[in-house]
Structure 1
Amino acid sequence: MTETASRPTVSQAPTAPEPRARRFRSELGYLLSGLPLGLAAFTVAVTGAALGVSTLVVWVGLPILAGTLRAARSLANRERRRVTAVTGRPMPSRHPLPSGTGWAGTLRAVRDPRPWRDLVHPVVAFPLQVTTFSVALTWTLGGIGELLYATWSWSLPRGDGNQGLAELVFDTSSRAADIGFNTAIGVFLLATAVPVVRALAGLQTRLAVALLTDDRAA
């Protein structure tokens, strides 16, 4: 009688999900840092492209465009690293631009279609970055400010012509109603901050993935 030794099946433990607080901080940091970084990338992309295209007729624009595309490639790779950090899904960097010397190498770099997508991204993404930055900052800091309204509302001017939000909505001058109403707004903003920030970060990262994904990258 032959006994067949059965090898126990080893089940891999599921990867522990990222703590909610850490993920929220990561997404909020991604949104808040997106505006200054996006402004720098937008300035480089628009200025370089406009200068390069406008001077193509005298051939000066060709090296300017090539340099702008290389800068756009570097900025796009930085955005890929940011998206990888916030989503946990890697976005490989693009292959280097075609190399070469002289006008032939510069022309090959400009004719490569991939860096043009890197150049388009900051132009398209900048309006969204302004919006997500403003909403995320207002939602979180505004929520904290409203939650602590009772501690600083004394500094607001009172009297004729200086109506609070509760007085405008409910037509009451009660200080208790004013504090309660604003505190409730703060509770609502902070209670919904996690899904709102996650949705905003999702919009911004999906745009980056759509424009900056390089299927040919290693």
Structure 2
Amino acid sequence: MLADTLYVLVAFPYGLVGFVVLFCSFMVGAANVVTLLGLPVLFAAMYLARWFANGERAMLARVLQVPAARVNYKQPPPDSGWWRRIVTPLTDGQNWLDLGHGIVAFGTSLASFILLATWWAGALGGVSYPIWAWAIPQGPDDQQFHQLLGLPDTMFVNVTVQFSMGLVFLITLPPVARGAAMLRALPARGMLYSVAGLRDRITDLEEQTVEARAQTAAAVSAEATALRRLERDIHDGPQQRLVRLAMDLGRAQHQLDIDPDAARATVNEALAQTRETLAELRALSRGIAPPILADRGLVAAVSALAGRSIVPVEVDWPGLDNTTDARPRLDAAVENAAYFVIAEALTNIAKHSHATECNVSLERDGGYLLIEIRDNGVGGAHVSKGHGLAGLADRVRAAGGVLTIDSPDGGPTRLLAELPCV
């Protein structure tokens, strides 16, 4: 109540001064705009309106109990001349709304001030009436009022009636004070934030569009990189072994009639090639989407990765063990992205880091899955294009996450991936 009252009391003289200054400057500028001499005056009126509007916004933040918002006005280009600097504020809709508010707000300030002043006077005057009632003689109006209510014309009745009315004013003062403050504040908020709010929403949508396009491009890049790597691995591994298997089987076919023992040895070699080919195909399939990930979850799949790693790996998963965590499993897309991050990171550690130990930590933090991978290798890892971690960064970004790598020369290396999991 006191904050609302203070706002109304301050807004009345503030609005009066703003009305006089802005109305006079606007009329002078508008009257001379044909001769172009009024444009500098209108320019000054716009900046004065902006100054009064910023003061009003500071007061609105207190009375509406919202964070103070800063409005971004249209700015001229840095290398523009003085004429462009004068004209640019005149093309900003928010500047005109600021000017209109400075002129119109005096009416709402006056109405809210009269309403609140009347209520405060009624409350304070009625409640304190028994103290000073003796100093005021009763007149004909008091007698007519008592007759209208059917009450006897006595001092006690008069004091009782006035005190009761004062109590009514005092009890209803908080909602009336709030209503008077809103009478002044709500039109001000509508005028001082409308264009700016719309501009901010447009900016947010543009940023979201850019981010969505970047995520799409990252997803396409990540999938293309994964497909190229898969094609290379198949060509260098299973495909070569299948070619050799076909040659061995053809040689065994020719040896069956002339040298059965040699044919038997060739068939045994072909069987060994078949087993190795199947092992490589299983390894490739685990890199795409291992069955253990779908069947038993991320923790089991990461534990399996750690067990196959050349470098000793310790896995921590606080709050992610589904046997003890009541929350449901992560979304399949999040689990796949997390598994890919860890698998690729462990592969890079085994190939390039010369590390002797590694730690993988999985943790839910609010709406994000945090993946932290540390090793004691030689460091020097980064996500520049042309390096192995670039595809990993694209995969994380495609999932809406962020990848951070801290890997100074000489180590250690810390990789942190944040994936949204809401």
* TM-score past 0.5 threshold: yes
Counterpart selection for 1:81 from 48, 58, 82: 58
- Alignment partners' CA distance in 2, 1:103 and 1:37: 31
1:117-170 Cα offsets, whole Å, 9 max, x none, are 0001122221111011111112123211111111112222345x4646743643
Counterpart selection for 1:119 from 87, 99, 102: 99
* Aligned partners of 1:166 and 1:177 also within 8 Å: no
Q: Point out 4+ residue stretches in structure 1 off by more than 6 angstroms.
A: none
Greater mean alpha carbon deviation, residues 163-172 or residues 61-70: 163-172
Counterpart selection for 1:170 from 126, 131, 149: 149
Note the 1:57-96 alignment, pairs <5 A.
57-96=34-73
Greater mean alpha carbon deviation, residues 97-106 or residues 181-190: 97-106
Counterpart selection for 1:156 from 130, 136, 139: 136
Between Structure 1 and Structure 2, the one with more strand by share is 2
- Alignment partners' CA distance in 2, 1:183 and 1:69: 50
TM superposition score normalised by structure 1: 0.81
Counterpart selection for 2:29 from 49, 52, 59: 52
Distance 1:165 1:118, change over 3 A: farther
TM superposition score normalised by structure 2: 0.43
- Alignment partners' CA distance in 1, 2:102 and 2:41: 18
Specify the code of the residue in structure 1 equivalent to 2:67: P
**Residue 285 (structure 2) aligns with:** none
- Alignment partners' CA distance in 1, 2:48 and 2:190: 20
SS for the counterpart of 2:69 is coil
**Residue 15 (structure 2) aligns with:** 38
* Aligned partners of 1:69 and 1:110 also within 8 Å: yes
Specify the code of the residue in structure 2 equivalent to 1:54: A
Larger RCO: Structure 1 or Structure 2 (Cα < 8 Å, ≥ 6 residues apart)? 1
1:108 aligns with 2:88: yes
Number of aligned residue pairs: 194
**Residue 126 (structure 2) aligns with:** 146
- Alignment partners' CA distance in 1, 2:172 and 2:93: 41
* Aligned partners of 2:29 and 2:39 also within 8 Å: yes
> Rg bigger for which structure?
2
Q: CA deviation at 1:185?
A: 0.5
Structure 1: runs of 5+ lacking an equivalent: 1-23
Q: CA deviation at 1:202?
A: 2.0
Over the aligned positions, Cα root-mean-square deviation in angstroms equals 2.1
* Aligned partners of 1:147 and 1:187 also within 8 Å: yes
**Residue 193 (structure 1) aligns with:** 173
How many percent of aligned residue pairs carry the same amino acid? 26
Distance 1:192 1:158, change over 3 A: closer
SS for the counterpart of 2:67 is coil
